[in-house]
Amino acid sequence: MKMSTLLMTGGCFIVFAGLCFIPAAFGPDPDRTMLGAGSMIIAMGLVLVAVSIYANARSLDVDTGSGSTAKRNRKTNCDKCGEDEPVIQCRVHQLHLCGSCLAEHYDFRSCAYVPSTRRGAAKSTAAAYSQASSS
């Protein structure tokens, strides 16, 4: 934290030094090389300021919420047999069922079925998006 503050302060002083070159480029006796040198020094100072802001942000200890995804994806098997990945959900009984358990559970008079929202741990979101776009 202290190092990033020192880098930011040093970067601000370097930017100020670069700004001092600018009047020489546009004064009564203009020198275009001073404009290039001043621009380069300003850019170097701004890079130091950016690096210090980045270092300060990286030092923050932020919880990314990875614990909530572990809880959400904890149960990815069929509720009845516990072996296969569920493909359908019975809304009446609140059961996620695999294909073989669906054949045993199927009752068109009392059950309402929707596709299961659970995904297996092996299936990544990128794979899910690529399969969704191809169909």
CA angle 78, 84, 90 (to 5 degrees): 35
Average pLDDT, the chain: 78
The pTM score is 0.45
Q: Token digits for 41?
A: 């020094």
From the list 52, 13, 20, the residue with the least C-alpha distance to 39 is: 20
Spatial neighbors of 4 by CB under 8 A, at least 6 apart, are 52, 53, 55, 56, 59
Residue 10 has pLDDT above 60, yes or no: yes
Residue 19 has pLDDT above 80, yes or no: yes
Q: Token digits for 102?
A: 């669906």
Average pLDDT over residues 98-127: 70
CB–CB of 18/38 below 8 Å?
Answer: yes
55 φ/ψ angles, rounded to the nearest 5 degrees: -65, -35
Residue 7 has pLDDT above 80, yes or no: yes
